[in-house]
Structure 1
Amino acid sequence: MKKDIAPIDGELKEPLSGRRHFLKTTLTASMAFALPAGVAAAFRNTKRPIKIGLIADLHHDIIHDGLQRMNVFLEAVDTQRPDAILQLGDFAYPGPVNKAVIDRFNNAHDTALHVIGNHDTDAGYTTDQCLSYWGMPARYYTTVVGGIHCIVLDGNDTGSPDYTGGYPSYIGPEQLSWLENQLKTIEGPIVVVSHQPLAGISAIDNAEEVQNLLATAADKVLFALNGHTHIDLLLKVQGIPYLHLNSASYLWVGDQYKHESYTKKIHGAHPWISNTCPYKEALFAFLTIDPNTLSVTLEGRKSEWVGLPPDRLGVTTYTELTLGEEVAPRIRDRHILRPKR
C-alpha cells in the first residue's frame, strides 16, 4: 500500500486507489486529527497558546477588491491580536502598482510572514522582487513565533524529473537538504508551510519524498499548511495532518465556465474574474496552538458565492472533490487534538 493516508480513527484496512482512495480521505476531513505521539516533549519551552492569522491566495491582481478583502482580514487581526500574520502565496505582484496592499499587510503586524506562490512571479516579476517588496529573508526560511518553529518552503523549484508542463511544483535537492537539516536541528514544535500542497490534490511532484522526510520528525512536526488549491481540506499522511487553506477570494473554474458575476464595468477592468466563482466576503482564519492541551484550533469564516455557483455552471473540473464540501465558500472551524492515552 502507498504510504499511510488515514482518518483519525485508525489506519486504512485495505489499499485504495484513484478516486476511491481520495474520497476515503476527504470524507473524514472534518474530523479531529491527532497530533504526533511525541509532541509533548517538543512543547517543553512553549508555555502559552500561540495564535497566527492566516490568509491565502488573495490574488490581488485578478480580483477587483483585493485591498478591501485585505482590510477586512486586518480588522479581524486588530481584534484577535495574533502573535503573527501569514499570507500563503498568490498574494500581489511585487511591484509599485501593488504597494498599497503590500504595505497594508506588512505594516499591520510586527511579524508579517510571506510565502511565494506560483502566480507571484507572473507578468515578468521575479523571486528577488518578492523578497525585496515583501521583506522576506529568503525564498525559503525558518522563523520562530512564540516558540513555534515555522519552516517556510518554496514549491517553485525547477528541475523536477516528473515535470510535464505548466508552473513548476517541486522542492529541489538543495532545498530538501536544507529542510532535512532543519528537521534534525530544531528541537521545538514545527509547522511546515508552503504554497503548493505537500499532500493531497495538486501536490508537488515529489510529494511522497517530502512526506517521508517530514515523517522522520513526526515527534516534532505538528502539521503542514498550504494554499494554492482554493479548497477546504484536511488530511493525514503518515501521522501528520496536512491542511489546505481556502482562497481569500474565489474558486478558479477556467475558460470553459467563463461567466459574469459582477457588473460589466468590473469585468471589463478585471477580465480574469470571469474565470472564477468569487466569494462574497473575504475568507481567512486564525490558528491557535495550545501547548497546555496539545491541541490546534482553526477558527474559519463562511461566505457565499457571488453570481452562479459552480454546480449551477456544471463545473466538473474538481472530479476528486465534492461541491459543497471541500469546494465551498468557507474555511471550516477545525480542532486538531491529541487523543487521551
Structure 2
Amino acid sequence: MGATIKKIFSDDVPLVYSLLHLQAGNEDYLVAASEEENGSAYAYNLNKNYEKQAIWQNIGGTMTMVQVSDSLDFLATQRFFPGFNAASCELVKLSFDGTGWNQTKIMDFPYLHRFDLIEGPDKMYFIGATITEHKEFSDDWRTPGQIYVGEYRQETNELIGLTRLDEPLVKNHGYCAFSEKGYSFVTSEEGVFCLRYPSAESDWQLTKVYDLPVSDIAAIDTDDDGKFNYYLVINNFHGQTLTILNDRFQAIKEISGKFPFAHSIWGGVFNGEACFVFGNREGKQDYYLLKVREEFGEVQVELVKIDEQVGSTNTTVFQKNQQDLLVSANREINQVAIYVES
C-alpha cells in the first residue's frame, strides 16, 4: 500500500453523519445524510461525476441507513437529533421510482440508533438497537437500551414479530455486521456481544465476548484465512483510547495517542491490504488509517494520517471502476468526502 491518500471529492452537508453506498444493476450512488434538526439527505451519482440529488430535506436526525436487498430502496432513521434528542425517532423507507426516492413511514421507533436488515433463507430479518428507552436530559442513562429483532416484509413495508431480547444494554451504541458469518456485534457499557442469527437449529443467540465498556468495534483478517485475527475497539462510550484485541478478544496493544470523542471506525480491505480506519470528533479531529502486522511474534502498528481537523463520524470503503474509495462523513466541518490512494 502506498503512502499517499488524497481527497478526490467533497461537498457541503451540514452536520453530515450517516453514509450508504447504494448500488443495484448499473445504478450506483453514495448517500449522505445529516443529523441536524432541519437536515437533508443527498444522493451522489457515481456514474455521473457525483451529480447531486436531494432525497429529503428539512427533516434530519439520521443515524443509520440500510439498503433493501438488491434494489435502490433503503431504510433510514429520522428525527434522532444531537444530544440524544430521539424520543420522536422514526423508521422510514425510501423507494426508488426510476428518477428519485419516495418516502413512507414504517413506524415510530424512539431512540433507534443502529439497525440492520439480514437476508435469511426465506425471510429478511430486522435488527434494531436503541441507545436508551427513555431520556429526560442528554446525560440521562438511567434506562438501558435494548436489542429488537423481527422480520421485515418488503412487500407490505412492515416489521413483523418484533421482539425485545432479554439483555438490557447501557449506552447501546456500536453495531458491526458480518452477515456472511451469521452474526453481528453490538457494543455497550457491559461490553461486546455477539448476536447470532436464527438457523434451523436455534433462535437468536446473544453472547458476551468482551466484558469492558466499548463504544464501537471493527474487525480484520490479515492472513486471509477467513477468520478475524484482530479487532479494534473504542474504549468506553465516545472514549479517547483505542485497543487492538486478538482473535480471543484479549487486549494486545493500545493505540498510542489520545483521540477524544472517537467515533468513526471501519475494518476491511483497502487497496489489497487489511486495515482499520478511524477518526475522532474532538481535539485534533484527525482521520487515520491503521495497519496491523505481526513481526517476530509481536504486533506492530502503523498510523497513517489521512486528513486532519475533519471530525469524522462514520466511514466506509467500497469499490468503483476497480478502485477502492474511502468515504468519510466529516461532520465537524460539514463535509462528505471521498479519498483514494495515489
**TM-score for the superposition, normalised by structure 2:** 0.31
- Structure with the larger RCO, 1 or 2 (CA within 8 Å, 6+ apart): 1
The structure whose residues are more often helix, as a share, is 1
- The structure whose residues are more often strand, as a share, is 2
| TM-score when normalising by structure 1 | 0.32
